[in-house]
Amino acid sequence: MTAMNESANSGSSPKINLLGLPKRKMEQFFAELGEKPFRAAQVLKWIHQRGVVDFADMSDLSKALREKLAQVAEIRIPEVELEQKSRDGTMKWVLRLDSGNSVEMVYIPEAEKSKQDDDDGYIDPRRATYTDGLSRATLCVSSQVGCSLACTFCSTGRQGFNRNMSAAEIIAQLFMAEHILVAKSLPSDRKISNVVFMGMGEPLLNFEAVVDAAEIMMEDNAYGLSKRRVTVSTSGVVPAMARLQERIDVALAVSLHAPTDELRDVLVPLNQKYPLKELMAACDAYAPNAPAAFITYEYVMLAEVNDSDQHADDLIRLLRDRAAKVNLIPFNPFPESGYTRSNSARIDRFMRRLEAAGITTVPRRTRGDDIDAACGQLVGEVEDRARRGERLERMNLRPAS
């Protein structure tokens, strides 16, 4: 499928949105226009490095080419519906998409490098505390309108699922943070140093768009982020994990949340299709060639559900001798969740038990919970196209009891 046809099939606009084209597709686009491939690098720089959305302002392109681009292409970004700023410096924006649905993106200022961070300056995503005057920040982006996986502790999963986001809608979040929103609200030198696909949706169920967006993030002619600073999170879509490593070199985070199949079947229903044995085999295959040579395992701390000493010991057995880093995430409450957050003493005891077994463990600080921007709280506005049971049935899952 050509770049032009692909765009025409993905939305109502007859013009192709160049915002979502990685270099390889941008080169194909210009080839179809009868132009040289180097035009792709020029336009990528204008869009992503300079924030230019009007072809008339791209001064190193000929007037004829600029006029041709205006006829067949556009650079379209979502509308900002709501902006909120947390007391800890975290910022959340609700973006209105063409479909009438809304998604959320979160900007998280980071603190100075700590002893848990790697020697090359890598800062673990979404963990550091806010400090004025520093220029590092993580952007948490959404990849789907809602989520179909129905994890029981996640507000996004409770809301339902509408559709996949396009690559243009995904990369628009970074574009807006770099060129519009952050520049308007924060010091101009505060730029995005890390991007995590940990917002609304399961990234590996929107595979091609996520890969395209990640390519743009790491493209030298665009944002130039290193492979260690782009993290794709998954609840365990096992077949797509191998495909991801074949297609693009990014860090991987796995939403684990339970050390046994019995418990994970309830918390993460996808486990009924891809149980822990299959998931861990996929992680073992991914880890040796991962950018950081390890997998990050996300583990939400739910009081009297998955936070006992026995759960810690089960987790140790699961992860021992694996290239693993565990992020312990305090549960972020939402109405009628049915869960409560483990207290700090219990989280600390759990962490120390894992560390005593030689497993690198980091307690994640809750960020932006006062504006519902913390992990598991993103909801946007989604017209759910299928009830929870129907979504699980489409995945060949039995409803968790």
Annotated active-site positions, please? 104, 375
Number of CB atoms found within 10 A of residue 346's CB: 16
Helices and strands of the chain, counted as H and E runs = 14, 14
Question: CA separation (Å) from 179 to 162, 189, 223, 243, 301?
Answer: 28, 11, 11, 32, 36
The angle at the Cα of 323, spanning 298 to 138, to the nearest 5 degrees, equals 45
Amino acid 135 reads S
Strands 144-146 and 161-164: antiparallel
| Bridge partners (DSSP) listed for residue 108 | 138
CA-to-CA distance for 397 and 400, rounded, in angstroms? 8
CA-to-CA distance for 12 and 10, rounded, in angstroms? 7
CA-to-CA distance for 124 and 66, rounded, in angstroms? 42
97 Rama sector, left if φ>0, alpha if ψ -120 to 50, beta otherwise? beta
Asked if 261 and 271 count as a contact pair (C-beta separation under 8 A), the reply is yes
Asked if 230 and 214 count as a contact pair (C-beta separation under 8 A), the reply is yes
CA-to-CA distance for 197 and 253, rounded, in angstroms? 9
